[in-house]
Amino acid sequence: MSEVSGRIDLWGKVAIVTGGARGIGRAICLALAREGASIGVADIIEASETVASIVERGGRAVSVSTDVTRAEQVEALVERVGRELGGVQILVNNAGTVQRVGLEATTEELWDRDVNTIMRGTYLCTRAVYPLMIAQRYGRIVNVSSISGRIGGAVSRAEDSPEAMQGRSGPAYAAAKGGVLAFTKWVAKDGGRHNILANAVCPGPVSSEMTRGFDYNVGSQPIARMGEPEDIAEAVLFLASNAANFITGQALNVDGGLVMD
């Protein structure tokens, strides 16, 4: 296959998408499948609706119940997707959890939950697909970070509270998302010689379960609306495709222009 950038075409590719049962992860699964990829949908919650939507549209997908913080489950995920769908060329680390409390209220349990889901999960999934990607001399890894990882938390207001800070994503989330950006660059520097490219997207506020009940004051953004899961999915699709063959170690803000750097 030519390594010069080309059009978006994922026929013959297999992708693992974590947190693919709903929200942004589900939209990523559907976008990658639309362009021809077979999808391993990994989530701790039931993901059969995502698989059914892909199959209805003529695509191929399997759902694998996976907790991304558990090494043995992640290894089993990669083994099963590789065996049933034929290899793994694309990994999208999307699974995430958030807490919206301040530093004093951030317990060690909350800290560990978010850091483990976001950072440890990204590390474990990347480690698990890496030998396959090296052997096939091809890999595209896209990590779903957040503008929180760049600016230290996105401010919102709980709709039932006058306190603006009550809706701000917390310190564990910001730290974990920032860690994912550094990890992305580390993998990009290591993986280039194997034709493994690693990039990240940094969504701004997006309508999903994660943001339900919070007001992000999106009226002040240049593109003055909440993002939709599909907005993020199209950016991930680009970075996962051969259209992005000369891009690695980058973080793309997908946020309606909220953060410009």
The footprint of ligand NAD (CB under 6 A) covers 18-19, 21-25, 43-45, 66-69, 94-98, 117, 121, 144, 146, 203, 205-206, 208-211
d(CA 10, CA 138): 13
Of the pair 10, 154, the CB lying nearest ligand NAD is at: 154
Selected catalytic residue, list 123, 130, 138, 173:
173
d(CA 173, CA 110): 10
To ligand NAD, the closest distance from the beta carbon of 176 in angstroms equals 9
To ligand NAD, the closest distance from the beta carbon of 158 in angstroms equals 14
d(CA 136, CA 113): 34
Q: Is 138 a catalytic residue?
A: no
Q: For residue 7, count CB atoms less than 10 angstroms from its CB and return exposed for 0-12, middle for 13-18, buried for 19 or more.
A: exposed
d(CA 182, CA 180): 5
Of the pair 172, 242, the CB lying nearest ligand NAD is at: 172
Reported as type and span, the H/E element at residue 252 is strand 251-254
DSSP conformational letter for 158? E
To ligand NAD, the closest distance from the beta carbon of 77 in angstroms equals 10
Alpha helices, H only, 20-107? 23-34, 48-56, 71-81
Of the pair 128, 242, the CB lying nearest ligand NAD is at: 128
Of the pair 13, 150, the CB lying nearest ligand NAD is at: 150
d(CA 202, CA 161): 27
To ligand NAD, the closest distance from the beta carbon of 137 in angstroms equals 29
Instruction: Tell me which residues are annotated as active site.
Output: 173
